[in-house]
Structure 1
Amino acid sequence: MNVELDRKLTTILCADVSGYSRLMSDDEGKTLQRLKITREIFRENIARYGGRIVNMTGDGLVSEFSSVVKAVQCAVEVQNKINKDNAPLATDDQMLYRIGINLGDVIIEGDDIFGDGVNVAARLEAMAPVGGICISGSVFEQVKNKLPRAFKFLGDKNVKNIAEPVAVYSLSLSEDPGRKSQTSHHHIPSSEGKVKEPEEVEEEDKRIRAYVKRQAAFYRRALSFGTIILFLFIINMSTSPDYWWFLWPTGPFLFMLIMDAVRIFGVGHKAEDWEKRKIAEIKSHRKKHGR
């Protein structure tokens, strides 16, 4: 009779202290104290990234996350913190961890999880460099375009008690400026339906702001010239209404305004092109700000 097992897909993080037996042999009290400190770092960050500690026995730890991205972010945060705390210590005194992360199907039994998904994560942890992280191919596919990290393919590895080889990757603990994170940058659709990068949107905003400044300057000049023309017209009408001499000194002002208007707004088909371009820019700008 087959028993129906309760299963789910989850992200498993396994961690283990490197050289724990040697550390305990050298100084049990100090090692235990530092183990408590590092465990607290794990607890805080696992909770922060929405994970759950499945079990914590000896120097090992198993936790699970509903989000693959958050599991990797948590691992990076933990390793960076622990590595930083250990940096001032002598090499033999350092308590460093290896971490392995896998996305896989697991069997649920109470608060515990079992199955190949957990086993693969444990094997990845053993392959990880001291103070580093190894992830499976299933994890890599989920995070490769979402985190600004450099990934290195270590090959398809045969894992004990797992039928097929597992693709293994390591990742850098520092951000890679050459990679863009989709979690920190958002693509913004343009009015034409194309996807624009943040840099394009920023450039578009600059052009819109520059255009608005040119418009404002034009209106200020128009107001100033209009005031001067009105003043001259009033004097003209008060002194010699039969001879419109005010047109002569105001001619250059009018010519300058016309040239400014042509340069800013365009004429004929250029004006139509400007209008279309301006409408597209405003629509894109509004869409960016959710209006």
Structure 2
Amino acid sequence: MMGQTTERKLTTILCADMKGYSKMMEQDEERTLQSLKEARALFQEEIEISGGRIINMPGDAIIADFPSVVKALDCSVTIQNRLNDDKVDELSPQFRIGLNLGDVIIEGSDIFGDGVNIAARLEGLAPVGGVCISGTVYDHIKAKRPLEFEYMGAQHVKNIQEDVDAYALNLAGDKEFKKAAPSKKKQKTRHYHQQAEIEGEDEEAQLRRQVKREAGFYRRLLPMGGVILLLFLINIFTSPGYLWFIWPAMPMSVVIALDAMRVFGRRHSDDWEEKRFQELKQKKGPQ
């Protein structure tokens, strides 16, 4: 329809999936189904307490969204801790949870878009009984919750063009959990930016040192210049025919000149060398 606009929102998406559901159904259908119902009830309870809402529960999966990133994480941690504490055997329900903060399309009570897809891919990377979050979520919670996330690197996930930074929280203490390898392309980019930051810091520190040297020079110049001016005035008013102030002023002038060369000489020398290099390079032209 003409003029119809797509409704969108920024939200925190939770995607959860039950570990080994098909295998558990083969072993004990009734108990597995009952475990799934109990787990769904737990998710529903904690999500509502945290201000979120269930979007869908397809099969053994759960999709929800939250207006608050912090509450979404708190809810995920609470759910996983309760499930981990209640585990008694291999048929006890265990989940992986993925969290992502992203822009989604709203269609009725459902949501769609890359924000949802990324949360689903992160769920697949999460440790069993733990949580995997995107870089967008981590940026919002890193200073608000004292949780130890393991950086998994920049992950190339299915149907998503850009790599996604992933962080894992292993609440169940699964020693077999292995983090996925980070994208080599992203590693190189991250190293480049880190190096650029270091070089930028070095350049800024050098500029600060130069400014301090120049400020020190001017602080030393003022009293010496004042003394020379005072001697000159005394000389003019007492014996204008003989300029004796030159003799005490000369060593002070030499000190000022040497100090100025030390402070300003190297900077101008470096600038001249660079300018001269560029001139010769332009004259020579390309090889």
Asked whether the two chains share a fold, i.e. TM above 0.5, the reply is yes
- Structure 1 counterpart SS, 2:85: helix
Find the aligned partners of 1:173 and 1:139 in 2 and give their Cα distance: 18
Aligned to 1:268: none
TM-score, normalization: structure 2?
0.58
Find the aligned partners of 1:173 and 1:68 in 2 and give their Cα distance: 19
Aligned to 2:25: 24
Q: Which moved more, 1:144-153 or 1:73-82?
A: 144-153
What do the CA deviations read for 1:177-200 (whole angstroms, capped 9, x no partner)? Answer: xxxxxxxxxxxxxxxxxxxxxxxx
- Structure 2 counterpart SS, 1:33: helix
Deviation, structure 1 residue 94 = 2.7
Deviation, structure 1 residue 2 = 8.5
Find the aligned partners of 2:170 and 2:37 in 1 and give their Cα distance: 26
Find the aligned partners of 1:100 and 1:110 in 2 and give their Cα distance: 23
AA of the residue aligned to 1:142: H
Q: Is the 8 A contact 2:154 2:163 kept in 1?
A: yes
Q: CA 1:2/1:162 → structure 2, altered by over 3 Å: closer, same or farther?
A: farther
* Match for residue 166 of structure 2 among 161, 165, 168: 168
AA of the residue aligned to 2:148: A
Aligned to 2:13: 12
* Match for residue 145 of structure 1 among 143, 146, 149: 143
Aligned to 1:83: 84
Q: What aligned pairs does 1:171-190 form with structure 2 within 5 A after superposition?
A: 171-173=169-171
Aligned to 1:129: 127
Deviation, structure 1 residue 171 = 2.1
AA of the residue aligned to 2:17: D
- Structure 1 counterpart SS, 2:15: strand
1:119 aligns with 2:120: no
Find the aligned partners of 2:122 and 2:63 in 1 and give their Cα distance: 13
Q: What aligned pairs does 1:38-57 form with structure 2 within 5 A after superposition?
A: 38-57=39-58
Q: Which moved more, 1:164-173 or 1:65-74?
A: 164-173
RMSD: 1.4
How many aligned positions are there? Answer: 171
Aligned to 1:96: 94
Aligned to 1:68: 69
Deviation, structure 1 residue 4 = 2.5
Find the aligned partners of 2:148 and 2:7 in 1 and give their Cα distance: 36
1:157 aligns with 2:155: yes
Q: Is the 8 A contact 2:129 2:170 kept in 1?
A: no
What do the CA deviations read for 1:205-245 (whole angstroms, capped 9, x no partner)? Answer: xxxxxxxxxxxxxxxxxxxxxxxxxxxxxxxxxxxxxxxxx
Unaligned runs of 5+ in 1: 175-291
TM-score, normalization: structure 1?
0.57
